[in-house]
Amino acid sequence: MSSKVPIRFLDGGLGTTLELPPHNAEFREGSSLWSSDFLISSPDTLSGVHQAFVDAGADIILTATYQASLAGFAASKKLSGDQTALHTGQPHESLRESRPASRDTHGPEEAAVLMRKAVPLAKQAVLSRQHEAESNSRGVALSLGAYGATMQPSTEYSGEYKPQHMQTVQGLAEWHAERLEIFKNDQVTWKDVDYVSFETLPVLWEVQAVRQIMAKHNRSHYMRQWWISCVFPNEDLTLPDGSSVSAVVETMLHEPDSGEWQRPWGIGINCTDIKKLDDLILQYESSTARILGSDAERDAWPWLVTYPDGAQGSVYNTEIQEWEISPEMKAKGPQRPWHEELAEIISKTAKRGRWPGILVGGCCKTTPNDIKELRAQLASNTSEAYYLETG
C-alpha cells in the first residue's frame, strides 16, 4: 500500500445549484421532492448539472434521489401532459401495496420508474470523462437521504421523526429497505450503481437501521461500496438527537457478536458547517482508532467521506425553505474561501496518515466552480501525504 493517501472528489450541492443561473429553478410549492422533482419535470436539466460537476473534476456523482420516496411522489401532482412511461411486467413485491395516490399523482409503480431514472442520468455524465485506467475511481453514488429529508417540512437537521414507529430501528429499517429495493431489484439500474450513500443521518437509530439492512441486502452480485454520513448542526458537535461523535462512530463500525451487520466502506460527515469539520474529523479518527485498535493497519480502516456545506454560516430554514444569515455572521464580514479552507483540512488529515483514502466534495450551496477550485487547490499543493486518483 502506498504511503500516500488517495483522494477522490465528490460533486456538490445539486438542489442549490439548480437554483442558480443558468438553471434558475423554482421548486414546486408543497413538493417534498426538491431536486428529485426534476425527474418529473426536466431530466435534461439534471443531466446538465451532473455534467457540470463532472467537467469541474468530480469523480463520483450522487443521483437526484436524496429526497425521493414513494410517499413523496404519491403526494406530488403530475405535470400537465406528463407522459411518463412505465416498465412492463410484474411490479416488485415491495411495490404491490396500495398507496394513497390519485390519478393526478404518482402511484408506486410510476414513482419507482421515476426514481430509477436518476441513475442513468448520473451515469451518462460519469462516462463522458471515464477512462479505463480510472474505472475504479469514478462512478455513480445512489443518494439515499435520511427519512427526515422526505418529510414536509424536512427534519433531517432536527431529528424530529414522525410517526412514532419511525423513532425505532425496526421502523426505519423497513422504510430504508423498501426504498433500496426499488433500485436493487432492477438489474439494469443496479449495474450502473457503484456506491450507495446514506446521507445526512441525524439520529443514532437510523445509523443502526442502515447497517442492519445493508447486512441483508449488500451481498453476492448485489454488493456495492457504501457509506454512512451524519449531520452535526449542534455547536457541541453532537447529532440532532444529542449523540456524541464517539457514539456515532461506535454505531457505524462496531461488530456485534451476531455478525449480522456489515461494516461500511466509508464513514463521514456531510451538510455540516465547514468551521466544525477539522474538530469532527479528529474525533472520528480517535473514535475509529479506539474501536479498530490503535495499531490496526491503515487498510483496515474505512475511507473518510466528507462533504461540508458551502453556506458560509447561513442556515437553511425548513419552514420557509430559504437560507438565512444571522446578524453575528453578517458582522464577521467576508469568510475565507470555502475551497481554501477545505483543502487545508484535507491536507492536514492526509498528513496524519490514518485513513486509507479520502472522498471529499461539497453539500448545500457548493457549485461546480467550488469543486473545480477545491481540486485545483489540492493539486497545486506539493504533498508527500496524498495524491489525486484521477487526472
What is the pLDDT, as a whole number, of residue 377?
97
Contacts of 233 (CB under 8 A, 6+ apart): 157, 240, 272, 273
C-alpha cell at 144: 439515499
Q: Alpha-carbon distance 292 to 294, whole Å? A: 7
Per-residue pLDDT tens listing for the chain (391 residues): 568 999 999 999 999 999 999 988 877 666 678 899 899 989 999 999 999 999 999 999 999 999 999 988 888 777 544 333 322 223 333 333 333 444 577 788 999 999 999 999 999 999 998 765 566 789 999 999 999 999 988 899 999 999 999 999 999 999 999 999 999 999 999 999 999 999 999 999 999 999 999 998 888 778 999 999 999 999 999 999 999 999 999 999 998 776 667 899 999 999 999 999 999 999 999 999 999 987 888 999 999 999 999 987 777 666 656 666 766 666 565 689 999 999 999 999 999 999 999 999 999 999 999 999 999 999 998 788 999 999 7
What is the pLDDT, as a whole number, of residue 29?
61
What is the pLDDT, as a whole number, of residue 81?
41
C-alpha cell at 182: 426499488
What is the pLDDT, as a whole number, of residue 259?
64
- What count of other Cβ atoms lies within 10 Å of the Cβ of residue 195? 21
Express each pLDDT in 118-143 by its tens digit: 999 999 999 998 765 566 789 999 99
Mean pLDDT over all residues of the chain?
Answer: 87
Sign of the torsion formed by the C-alpha atoms of 15, 20, 22 and 24: positive
Give residue for cell 460519469. Answer: 126
Nearest alpha-carbon partner for 115 in 168, 169, 4, 190: 190
What is the pLDDT, as a whole number, of residue 155?
94
Sign of the torsion formed by the C-alpha atoms of 158, 163, 169 and 172: negative
